[in-house]
Amino acid sequence: MKGKIGLEEHFAIEDTINDSAGFFPDHIWEELRGRLLDLEGKRLRLMDQHGIETMILSLNAPAIQAIPDPKRANEIARKANDFLAGVVRKHPDRFQALAALPMQDPDLGTRELQRCVKDLGFIGALLNGFTQVGDPNNIVYYDLKQFWPFWSEVEKLDVPLYLHPRNPLPAHAKIYEGHGWLMGPSWAFGQETAVHALRLMGSGLFDAYPKLNVVLGHMGEGLPFSMWRVDNCNAWVEGRHKYPAKKKIGDYFQNNFHITTAGNFHTPALLNAMMVMGSDRIMFSTDWPFENIDHAAVWFDAATISEADRIKIGRTNALKLFKLPGA
Ligand code: GRE
Ligand code: ZN
């Protein structure tokens, strides 16, 4: 399919690149490092080869979320966002931008989002999971009340917020001890991000700001498969769920969430997601450079779905959600 749009597509700057080392052996890191820093070379060639018209770009992980000092986090976020704005200005038909935000201080995060959207033309933001604040062991999730004014501004600006994974801190990863292969994209990323998303849903955030749009990668981090059970387990026990939100968790998932195919190129998983949430809230992505563009595109182009759904998932859903030209 030509004209695909990808929205979990990463780059790095020198200040953040080393956050992506350590997931791969040294000889693979050579390749990955080059892929992350490249924007106008191999990346554009592969996009051309595989029918990807536009990449909506975001900084690598955890980057800003792992800089405990708010002032430094703000500086690096601004630097990365300014760099990204320059790249998009050069290739407005091929690239769009998601902001990196210093959530160490909700007010700084809000101001940087406003700057990116209003002054730099960014179309949303991407947060790499929880944020470390002050003490590296002090972490915050975005359902906490201090972030509600931030969410209010996200709703007001009417831009989607991509919630991207990061690993849990070692202190919170006892269950993975001695089983390092479960960290990162094989399991811990999805677990961490799914719970964060459920916290948002249960917190009442979407009752207060019902127009928020949150995007999850990796075919929804397991949530499409699990959502029925979240709401319906032990149905014989009356009032068994106690959370501040007014509605069923699945209602928020259905109305405030979107998912992408990033890093999950498996037709049974896609069909499950389509059966649970329909084809209007699912969008193609690759997760470049951690996944290969050809793996994503060759799979998606041949997946056993209707051509009408392929066009929605490959292109038009993203055009609409991000209000891009041609929507
Ligand atoms: C990602 O951003 O999706 C990612 C990483 C590190 C390793 C693998 C991966 O940030 O998919
Ligand atoms: Zn990613």
* pLDDT tens digit sequence for 177-227: 999 999 999 999 999 999 999 999 999 999 999 999 999 999 999 999 999
Q: Is 287 in the pocket of ligand 1 (CB under 6 A)?
A: yes
- Residue 308 makes CB contacts below 8 A (sequence gap 6+) with none
Task: Output the CA 253–ligand 1 centroid distance in Å.
Answer: 23
In this predicted structure, what is the pLDDT of residue 192?
A: 98
Note the pLDDT tens digit of each residue in 107-163: 999 999 999 999 999 999 999 999 999 999 999 999 999 999 999 999 999 999 999
Active site residue 231: no
- DSSP code of residue 149: H
User: Which numbered ligand comes closest to the C-alpha of 185?
Assistant: 1
In this predicted structure, what is the pLDDT of residue 241?
A: 85
Q: Is 10 in the pocket of ligand 1 (CB under 6 A)?
A: yes
Domains of the chain: 4-321 (3.20.20.140)
Q: Which residue is catalytic, options 287, 294, 301, 309?
A: 287
Q: Is 36 in the pocket of ligand 1 (CB under 6 A)?
A: no
Task: Output the CA 218–ligand 2 centroid distance in Å.
Answer: 8
Note the pLDDT tens digit of each residue in 284-299: 999 999 999 999 999 9
Peptide bond into 289 cis (omega under 30): yes
Q: Is 263 in the pocket of ligand 1 (CB under 6 A)?
A: yes
**Which structure tokens are listed for 267?**
């037709």
**pLDDT score of 326 more than 90:** no
For the CA of 19, the closest atom of ligand 1 is 10
Task: Output the CA 157–ligand 2 centroid distance in Å.
Answer: 24
User: Which numbered ligand comes closest to the C-alpha of 21?
Assistant: 1
Task: Output the CA 142–ligand 1 centroid distance in Å.
Answer: 21
Burial class (CB in 10 A: 0-12, 13-18, 19+), 151: buried
Q: Which residues in 160-169 are b (16+ Cβ under 10 Å) and which e?
A: bbbbbbbbbe
**pLDDT score of 327 more than 90:** no
- Residue 104 makes CB contacts below 8 A (sequence gap 6+) with 67, 68, 69, 70, 73, 74, 131, 132, 133, 134
Alpha helices, DSSP H, located in 249-305: 249-256, 267-277, 293-302
Q: Is 290 in the pocket of ligand 1 (CB under 6 A)?
A: yes
Task: Output the CA 287–ligand 2 centroid distance in Å.
Answer: 5
Q: Which of 20, 24, 57 to mutate to test the pocket of ligand 1 (most atoms within 8 A of CB)?
A: 20
Average pLDDT, the chain: 98
Task: Output the CA 145–ligand 1 centroid distance in Å.
Answer: 29
In this predicted structure, what is the pLDDT of residue 284?
A: 99
Q: Which of 18, 23, 218 to mutate to test the pocket of ligand 1 (most atoms within 8 A of CB)?
A: 23
Note the pLDDT tens digit of each residue in 235-278: 999 888 899 999 999 999 999 999 999 999 999 999 999 999 99
User: Which numbered ligand comes closest to the C-alpha of 63?
Assistant: 1
For the CA of 61, the closest atom of ligand 1 is 10
Beta strands 95-99 and 214-216: pairing type?
unpaired
Q: Is 221 in the pocket of ligand 1 (CB under 6 A)?
A: no
In this predicted structure, what is the pLDDT of residue 81?
A: 99
